[in-house]
Amino acid sequence: MLTTTLTNLKLKNPIMLAAGIMGTTGGSLKRIARCGAGAVVTKSIGIEPKYGHPNPSMVKLECGYLNAMGLPNPSYKVFQPEIDEARHGGVPVIASIFGGGASEFTEIAGAIDADAFELNVSCPHAQGYGAEIGTDPVLVEEITKAVKKATDAPVWVKLTPNVTDIKQIGLAAQRGGADAVVAINTVRGMAIDIESGYPILGNRFGGLSGAAIKPVAIKAVHDLYTVLDIPVIGCGGISKWKDAVEFIMAGARAVQVGSAVG
């Protein structure tokens, strides 16, 4: 049996949809759930509507995908119906949320009804958000603690690999009361069109995902597993069942799949 319990959520299997473009609508989340996912994670949702970065915002490379979406979202104020529809898929729905500080995170967590929250403190290409917060253990602990006070739902913290020591960020999340950590988000990267001499992405740089980052993610999961008392959820470069097994062998309790289904 593949059934597992993760932060008090019962999953029919340990394979989840990662936060990303497939989690933009309740309909797409429901379809992924009915295709067999054990749980689904929404696109990251913030306080106010954001249009994101200019196109091109996602490009396919030989080694994976490079994206700089810029956290586009309609605002949490209009997103609850999408979560409600996604729940018809019959699996837990985790809301990925972001903010510029503890007050924004808590406002969202206090207003949305979801089965769990995933704190995006790891997006590498959004000024004032994501990794600009997630590289500071003091801020990670502060935000996690605040969100735990704002909701009774489990709180997961998604970590950035773009740090000197991811263990210190994971420990900060644990001190803040996180129920689990997710590792990893994308790796900072850039690609240039040699014909034009300009960066391929409209934002110039972005985050690399796909097969190329799997060894980085495996190492991060293993490092976190050795120091944390809370579950580690693996994410990054999973495209086949053997990848998922590798993450579980490294210490992951469950895994998330993003680029392979996007």
Catalytic residue ranges? 123
* Rg of the chain, C-alpha, whole Å: 17
Nearest to 236 by CA among 2, 19, 54, 8: 19
Greatest extent of the chain over all pairs of C-alpha atoms, in Å: 53
Q: How far apart are CA 69 and CA 67, in angstroms?
A: 6
As given in the structure block, the two tokens for residue 88 are: 């018809």
Q: Who's near 241: CB < 8 A, 6+ residues apart?
A: none
